[in-house]
Amino acid sequence: MKIGFDGKRTTQNLTGLGNYSRYIIQLLAKFYPENHYTIYALKPPSQDLTISGIEYQYPKVKWVKSYWRSYGVVKDLVKQKIDLFHGLSNEIPHGLKKAGIPSVVTIHDLIFIRYPQYYSFIDRIIYKLKFLHAALHADKVIAISQQTKQDLVEYFGINEDRIKVIYQNCDPIFRQTISQTARNTVAKKHSLPRKYLLNVGTIEERKNLMLIVKALTKIEAVHLVVVGKETGYIKKVKDFIAEHNLTERVHFLKNVAHADLPAVYQQAELFIYPSRFEGFGIPIIEALHSGVPVIAATGSCLEEAGGPGSIYVDPDDATDLAKQISDILENSEKRTDMINAGREYLEKFEDKKIADQMLHFYQNVLDNA
Same domain, 185 and 250: yes
196 and 334 belong to one structural domain: yes
Q: What is the pLDDT of residue 255?
A: 86
* 188 plus 110 within the same structural domain: no
pLDDT of residue 175: 92
Same domain, 315 and 358: no
Pairing mode, if any, of strands 84-87 and 103-107? parallel
Q: How far is CA 343 from the centre of its chain?
A: 19
The phi, psi pair for 187, rounded to 5°, reads -60, -40
CATH of the domain at 83: 3.40.50.2000
**224 and 164 part of one domain:** no
Number of domains in the chain: 2
Question: Do 261 and 287 share a domain, yes or no?
Answer: yes
Q: How far apart are the first and last CA of the chain?
A: 14
pLDDT means per 10 residues in the chain (369 residues)?
Answer: 93 82 94 96 83 89 80 94 97 96 97 93 96 97 96 96 95 93 97 97 95 97 95 96 97 92 98 95 96 96 96 98 97 97 95 96 94
- Check the CA dihedral 306-310-314-316 and report its sign: negative
Are 327 and 179 in the same domain?
A: yes
Give Cα separations from 259 to 116, 133, 264 (angstroms). Answer: 34, 37, 10
pLDDT score at 63:
65
Same domain, 177 and 139: no
CA 319 vs CA 65, 198, 215, 285, 326: distances in Å:
51, 18, 6, 25, 11
Distances from the Cα of 270 to the Cα of 190, 201, 284, 291, angstroms: 18, 15, 11, 9
Q: Are residues 318 and 232 part of one domain?
A: yes
Helix, strand, or coil (residue 167): coil
- 17 shares its domain with 32: yes
- What burial class does residue 118 get, using C-beta atoms within 10 Å of its C-beta: 0-12 exposed, 13-18 middle, 19+ buried? middle
Q: What is the pLDDT of residue 90?
A: 96
Q: How far is CA 155 from CA 82, 110, 144, 152, 293, in A?
A: 31, 8, 16, 6, 34
Same domain, 141 and 241: no
pLDDT at 18: 86
Domain that holds residue 283: 172-348
- For residue 179, how far is the Cα from the chain centroid? 26
Residue 197 gets which letter from DSSP? E
Separation between Cα atoms, residue 287 and residue 227, nearest integer Å: 13
Cβ-based neighbours of 195, under 8 Å, separated by 6 or more: 222, 223, 269
| Res 49: pLDDT | 80
Class of residue 308 by CB neighbours under 10 A (exposed 0-12, middle 13-18, buried 19+): exposed
| Together in a domain, 8 and 24 | yes
Rg, Å, the chain Cα set: 21
Helix (H, G, I), strand (E, B) or coil at 174: helix
From the list 300, 308, 295, 369, the residue with the least C-alpha distance to 343 is 308
- Determine the pLDDT at residue 43: 87
| Type of residue found at 99 | A
